[in-house]
Structure formats: C-alpha cells, structure tokens
Amino acid sequence: MNGRVEASVEAVFREERGRLLAALARRFGDLDLAEEVTSEAIEAALVRWPVDGVPPNPGGWLMTTARRKAVDRLRRDQVYAAKLAVLQVEADRADPFPAPTVAGELPDERLQLFFTCAHPALAAEDRGALTLRCLAGLTTPEVARAYLVPDATMAKRIVRAKKKIREARIPFRVPGPEELPERLPGVLQVIYSVFTEGYVASSGPLLQRIDLAEEAIRLARILRRLLPAEREVAGLLALMLLIHARHEARTGAVGELVLLEDQDRGRWDRPMIEEGQALVVAALTGGASGPYGVQAAIAALHDEAADVASTDWPQIVALYDVLFALEPSPIVALNRAAAMAMRDGPEAGLVLLDELAGEPRLREYHPYPMARADLLERLGRLPEAAAAYREALALARTEPERAHLRERLKTVETS
C-alpha cells in the first residue's frame, strides 16, 4: 500500500469510524454486529483502495460496504435476524422517532452512541470502557491497559455492557430536551475520566498517557460540534485544552515529574491555550456557570500567569468557592486549601488541610499528604513533613511521582 492510500485509510478510520459504528448500531440495534461489519468494511478498504484508488467519498464507501456485509450476515443467520427484528420493533414502539436536539434538528448518530455508552443503566466502571471501545476505537487490550486490568477482565466488562444495552432495550437515541440536563453530565464525566487517566496515569512507569488525553479531547471536540449550545460541553473542552497545553513541560528529559511552579512556561502550547480561553468565555456566558466551566476558568488563570508568584490567587480562591458550592467534594476542598496557602500563606492552608484529615476519599489519595508535606516543609516543620512525604510515597502509583517524593523526602531528612 502506498503512503497516500495508507494515510487516507487511517484518516477515514479516525474521523468516520464512530459515525459509521453509530449509524449501524442505530440501524440494526446491535453493537456487536455493528462493530464486526465496521471492521470488515475497513479490511475491505485496505484490499480495494490500493487497487482502485481512494473513492471520492470514503466514508460513504465504507457505509455502503458495511451495510451490505450486515445484510449478508443476517441473510445467512435468519434466527439472529429474527431476534434483531423483534428488538427493533420493540425499540421503535418505545421510541418511534429519534429525539431532536435542543435546536430541533436530527443529531449526528455519534451523539446517540455517546448517550448509549454513558447510559445510567450501565455500571459506572463499564461506561468509560465502552466509550473507549466504541467511540475512541481502542482495542479491548488497549482499554484494559488504560484501566489497568487484565485483558480477559476488560473483555468480560465490555461484553456485560453490550448485553445490558441489548437486554434492557437501551435505545440508540439522544435524550429529549427534558432529559438532556440529567443525562449530559454522565457523558461529560466519562470523557473527563478518560482524560484524567491520560493526564496522570493510575500506575506504571509513565506519568502521562498522552494518547488517552488526546483521545478524550478528540471526543470532546466531536461533542462540542454536535451540541454547540451546551455551555458545559464548551467548559469541558476548554478545561482539557488548558491543562493539556502544559503537558510538554510536565515531565523532564527522562520522564521525571516537573511541578507547575518549576515548569518552563515557554514550552506550553500557546495556540491551545488561546483556544481554551475562547471556550471559557463561551462556557461562562449566558447563564449560571457549571463545574467544568469554573474549573476551566481556574486553569485559564494558571495559564495566563507569567509565573506562580504573579498568578491571580485571590481570583482562583474565589472560583474555588464557586466550584465548592456546585460540587462540595473533598478533592475541591483540597485544591481550595492549596490555593489559600498561596494567597494567605502556608499556615492558613495547613489549617484547612488538617480539617480534611477525616475524609474517607482522601485516605488513599496521595496528593493530600503530599500537599500537607509541602506546607509543613515551607513552615520548617521538617520531621512532620518527612512523615507526610512517607505517607504520600506509600500511596503514589506512578514511578515519576514516587521518584519525586523520594527526592523531596531526602531533602527534608538531610536539612
């Protein structure tokens, strides 16, 4: 295969696979069948396009080929076809017309697949896995690596989710305007969970999984195009762009962790920051702010500052106050305490951190003892700082984080 054809196949696969899979799933009501014929259509393209050339409408060629393969398969297996027909009739009776978007227009099929993969009837641990498998196009072993589970475990999880969709008659549709406010946060949370795993891996030798972070951003861009009026979609995309813009500076030459205050801000991606800043405006304009929009505004303030000292810490604290009112979680409280320490000094921050000592969600969360250790070190309380660094070291899961904590612990122990 020549380079042009190979690049065209890859580009079509990346851009059109989710659309193709979603349309076939909607048409036949079966994710497994849709996945199989989508893969077969791609394989057919790999055979035909080098001979015949890339067609003028590659996505249309793939769709036609996949539909033919699905029909051929159903003709060969009439029992399976009858079951699908019954399921389709039942689904049509329950939901005879695709729900319109807020703007009243029929949506791209990918939007239907977003909401199917993130349906609340599915187990929380299955939603992200199914999104990566179906919308991001990762293989089952790749999804397993992302979630740090064996391939067989992930395969069972994905099969379970598909079975639930089939047996619970979960429709491939976009929720109506009255359902959208309740359902959209689940879709956004799935995408953000994928990004979070890319931003800081759960464990392993690398701090970041750039492929996952970029895949989450790609999915958010699709969602933004499909739901341009939803401000929290803009907020999520803005947040991820503003954070990901720093990824080149987050690690050193050998993959070591570089904290925000020590990063070379000249390595930050300025066009990405500018795009994120514009989206923050969209997220915060026209009504009450949502959690992702507020977090994006905080990230924008970090990205706008020339250094840590000139960062607008009073405004960041004020935004954390707003965020805590929207989402009163111990993680938000931890981040607010760190910002307070920058505004009012380490003693003020430490008081707030100590108030969180009994929070169950922070017991296994290494940034909490790490934040305490940092403030104790800044206050000159070195034995206490060393103990906190040891606690954080015991909880940290990636090698770059552990290496960083070992260095900090060595510093306070030898001071």
Cα angle value 211/216/217 (rounded, 5°): 100
The reply to whether 284 falls in a domain is yes
**Exposed (0-12), middle (13-18) or buried (19+): which is 186, by Cβ within 10 Å?**
middle
Among 301, 328, 355, identify where a domain stops: 328
Tell me: do 234 and 316 sit in the same domain.
yes
The last residue of one of the domains, among 275, 299, 328, is 328
Are 285 and 359 part of one and the same domain? no
Indicate whether 29 and 85 sit together in one domain. Answer: yes
Q: DSSP letters along 103-169, please? A: TSSPPPHHHHHHHHHT-TTS-HHHHHHHHHHHTS---HHHHHHHHT--HHHHHHHHHHHHHHHHHTT
Rounded to whole angstroms, how far apart are CA atoms 247 and 263?
10
Residue 101 maps to a domain:
no
Tens of pLDDT, residue by residue over 54-95, are 888 888 888 899 888 888 888 777 766 665 555 454 444 444
**Whether residue 350 is found in the same domain as residue 377:** yes
Residues 301 and 380 in one domain: no
Q: Which residues contact 401 (CB under 8 A, 6 or more apart)?
A: 200, 207, 257, 366
Distance of CA 267 to the CA centre of its chain: 23
Residue 154 lies in a domain: yes
> Residue 132's domain is classified under what CATH number?
1.10.10
CB-CB contact of 166 with 211 (8 Å): no
415 residues of the chain, pLDDT tens digit each: 555 656 656 666 666 777 788 888 888 878 888 888 888 988 888 888 888 888 888 888 888 998 888 888 887 777 666 655 554 544 444 443 343 333 333 346 777 888 888 888 888 888 888 888 887 777 888 788 777 688 999 999 999 998 888 888 887 777 777 777 788 888 898 888 888 878 876 666 777 778 888 888 988 998 898 889 999 999 999 999 999 999 999 999 888 999 999 999 999 999 999 999 999 999 999 888 899 999 999 999 999 999 999 999 999 999 999 999 999 999 999 999 999 999 999 999 999 999 999 999 898 899 999 999 999 999 999 999 999 999 999 999 889 999 999 999 999 999 8
DSSP annotation of 249 reads G
CA-CA distance, 36 to 66, in Å (whole number)?
9
Query: What global pTM score does this model have?
Result: 0.78
**Does any domain span residue 222?**
no
Domain boundary among 293, 328, 363: 328
Counting Cβ atoms within 10 Å, is residue 2 exposed (0-12), middle (13-18) or buried (19+)? Answer: exposed
Owning domain of residue 53:
1-96
Domain assignment of residue 215, yes or no: no
Q: Domain total for the chain?
A: 4
Q: Is residue 221 part of a domain?
A: no
